Amino acid sequence: MSLSRRSLLVAAGAAAPLLLARPALAAPPDLSTPEGWLSWISAHRAGLSLRLDDGRGGRLSHRADVARPLASAVKVLHLAAYADAVAAGRLDPREQVRVGDWERYYVPTDGGAHPAALRHLGVPLAETGLHAADPEQRVALDDVVAVMILFSDSAAPDLLRDRLGAEAVIAAGAARGWPEADVRSLCAEYLFVVLPETAPPAGLPVPARREWGFALERRHRDEPALRQEVLRRLQAGVPGYPAQLAWASTTAAGSADRLAAAHRALSAEGGIARTHLERPLAGSLPPGVSGIGIKGGSLPGVLTSGISVRRADGTLGWGALLAHGDISAEQLSTGDPGLPLLLAIEDPGWRDRLATALGG
């Protein structure tokens, strides 16, 4: 089974060509293929955390309690908090959100996720191609949440957290097996690398870094001049990949155990959160599968994913994978961390091969 970045399809990996000459350097594993993941995992066991349960007695765990960078996989927490707020009547999914207010949290370091989200919602783009042409245009709050999952828009989770409070996001995680989640401002974390002078001192404890970030986010939200400076800096260029790798290692972290628990809980409870998580793959489900909820993420040197698999027979598979370390920029752009998870949940034979790659 091969998992593209947008859909799940059953397929075999392509055969490697014959080598007519010895290469100077071996090609890095192709993380868009099953065999590539097995190769990477076998060589980087210390950089991988994995937790999965196929719902039928098959389980696999490897360094599952180690905290690693989460990247956009953390957005499942914001989705859970949104679902709780809707259920309690604190948020109305039909509320019309001013696009300009949403974009106050947007730092254009997302590989085009936000512009893609706007296009999906029928919002015309400005000439720069980064922001809405008309900041006064309105979209439904539930549509903002939808593109947080569909396209991994990174302004949406900060909009939600700022409205609900970090405590509500942390409480939503705790209610689903993820206590004391590392909830930060994504906006601020991106600003730390774009505007290095705004970054907190190295080694600052996470709670203090989080508060530092919330204060910086408020400045970005409320000061148009700061948002303009961010655009100017981005046009001038950002630090190279080695510096980005060091930065990514300091971003919000969590364990595969807790990320997997959240996906299991959200799938089991159903409702609006499960609907959003399952929507991206609703049109490409394997036989016997009723829904696949998935949310992945990537940062320099980081590929992550959480998943749930609901089956027509009533069983539920779930898991999480966090890879951190020797991942190149090219591997980052093509790698799909949901692929090994889905295969290991649905194919016992492939799960055995994965266990072997992990040293089991």
Q: How confident is the model at residue 346 (pLDDT cuts 50, 70, 90)?
A: very high
pTM: 0.91
Q: Is the pLDDT of residue 35 over 80?
A: yes
Q: How confident is the model at residue 20 (pLDDT cuts 50, 70, 90)?
A: very low
What is the per-residue pLDDT for 26? 61
What is the per-residue pLDDT for 17? 28
The share of the chain scoring above pLDDT 90, in percent, equals 88
What is the per-residue pLDDT for 18? 28
pLDDT in tens, 131-168: 999 999 999 999 999 999 999 999 999 999 999 999 99
Q: Is the pLDDT of residue 4 over 50?
A: no
Q: Is the pLDDT of residue 9 over 50?
A: no
The share of the chain scoring above pLDDT 70, in percent, equals 93
Catalogue the E-assigned strands of the chain.
Answer: 2-3, 8-9, 48-53, 59-62, 68-69, 96-98, 138-140, 253-254, 289-299, 302-311, 316-324
> Which amino acid is present at 327?
I
